[in-house]
Amino acid sequence: MRCARDPVVGASGDLVECVGTVVDITERKRAEEKLGESERRFRLLVESIPHHVWSFRPDDTVGYWNQRLIDYTGLTPEEIQAGGWAALHPDDVVRVKAAWQEAWVNGGAYEMEQRIRGRDGHYRRFVCSAVAVKDEHGRPAEWFGTDTDVEARRQAEEALHKAQAELAHVARVTTLGELTASIAHEVNQPLAAIVTNGQASLRLLSRSKPDIDEAREALESIIADSLRASEVIKRIRALLRKTGPAKSRLNINEAIREVIAFTAGELKKNHASLVTELAPDLPTVIGDRVQLQQVMLNLIINGNEAMNSPDLQTRELLVRSQRTGPDGVLVIVKDTGTGLDPNDRERVFDAFFTRKEGGLGLGLSISRTIIEDHGGKLWATSNEGPGVSLQFLLPPASKTNDEQN
């Protein structure tokens, strides 16, 4: 109850009477308590949730930082009021400011991954997102946002990528080891031509009437073949190198042709013929040359091995590249082999799945990882005729990860 006494003064200044009022303030008190309670709960919520919570005003001043954020950055209230950018990584400043500009203009949501410095001086990565509360004119009046710590997650992703790269390297080396005989043949071919050309030149020059022109052509062939042999060695070295992801613009057809040169011997050994249909006007792709060649190597060898069976009538491997969609690239490796059990169509991409004796079963699983890292897709379909088609799609250059140089 609220009691109040209001004195009433007469004309002469003497107290005439007192008017008293008694108001039942029970309801109001209850409401105030509830509000206080609600405020406490709300504060508890905002302080306890495992994210930074903050607000930000048009004049670049900070409206609110929750305790977690204050504790993380270790900034003083003065430093905080000086500007919310204090703990932002200097290399992220440009990016973040640009994104804020955008958000202010559009009034839409803000979301950016940025690095924020902790009180220990180390930066951690956070996903920062905010929404605007608009004024009566529909313009953003204040932004309310959270930061979520994703540092641990990013480190785990990086470790995973590193492990995948190691595995891919191992698989690559193993595959190349299996191809040794073929590769030796690829080097031996130009060497044999060099020897024959050399011997021919000697004969041409020791005639009573030496054929200098023909001997010169023989020498030119010798040079070309020497370069051919060293190219093979160079390509093998490139494939054997342990590479970090190194994406660049590449001509997929050229990459495919190089791989075909490695596998020609294997196909011939199997009495298989190779048909290539490489579209001439393919869009440029952004990708890691070594990794994509690893995928091609894997698909071609798999296709060849699928045609191992002695009672096969035709052994033909088709390698086709074509444009797909606006600027994507589709590559198909089609065999005429023993075919795929419908149940296995997805299982073949599982790690360690193999129907091959002595096989590791890693090739397709690694290939799929590589293609998906490129933003693409790899899948298998049964042909209308005999055999299987393995196809992968690479997205247009604009949609993939940024080119690294």
Partner 1 sequence: MMSKTNQVVFVVDDDASMCTAISRLLGAVGLEAQMFPSGQKFLASKLPDVPGCLVLDVRLPGLSGLDLQQEMFARGIHYPIIFITGHGDIPMSVQAMKAGAVEFLTKPFRDQDLLDAIRLAIRRDRAARKHRAELSKLRERLDSLTPREREVMTLVVTGMLNKQIALELGTSEKTVKVHRGQVMHKMKADSLAGLVHMTDKLGIEFTGLGGIGLKS
Closest distance to partner 1 from the beta carbon of 309 (Å) = 17
CA distance 275 to 336: 12
Query: What is the DSSP annotation of 8-76?
Result: EE-TTS-EEEEEEEEE--HHHHHHHHHHHHHHHHHHHHHHHSSSEEEEE-TTS-EEEE-HHHHHHHT--
* DSSP 8-state assignment for residue 276: E
Residue type (1 letter), 35: L
* DSSP 8-state assignment for residue 90: G
Closest distance to partner 1 from the beta carbon of 191 (Å) = 6
By beta-carbon proximity to partner 1, the closer residue of 214 and 344 is 214
By beta-carbon proximity to partner 1, the closer residue of 221 and 365 is 221
CA distance 390 to 397: 22
**331 near 252, Cβ under 8 Å?**
yes
- The number of residues that bind partner 1 (CB under 8 A) is 32
Nearest to 52 by CA among 116, 6, 119, 99: 116
Distances (CA, A) of 184 to 164, 187, 266: 29, 5, 11
- SS3 call for 112: strand
Interface residues for partner 1 in 171-230 (CB under 8 A)? Answer: 181, 185, 188-197, 199-200, 203-204, 207, 211, 214, 217-218, 221, 224-225, 228
By beta-carbon proximity to partner 1, the closer residue of 203 and 234 is 203
Closest distance to partner 1 from the beta carbon of 149 (Å) = 59
Closest distance to partner 1 from the beta carbon of 357 (Å) = 22
By beta-carbon proximity to partner 1, the closer residue of 229 and 285 is 229
Interface residues for partner 1 in 251-290 (CB under 8 A)? Answer: 265, 267-269, 271, 273-274
Closest distance to partner 1 from the beta carbon of 181 (Å) = 7
**124 near 149, Cβ under 8 Å?**
yes
By beta-carbon proximity to partner 1, the closer residue of 329 and 333 is 333
By beta-carbon proximity to partner 1, the closer residue of 271 and 399 is 271
Closest distance to partner 1 from the beta carbon of 282 (Å) = 25
Interaction site with partner 1 (CB under 8 A) = 181, 185, 188-197, 199-200, 203-204, 207, 211, 214, 217-218, 221, 224-225, 228, 265, 267-269, 271, 273-274
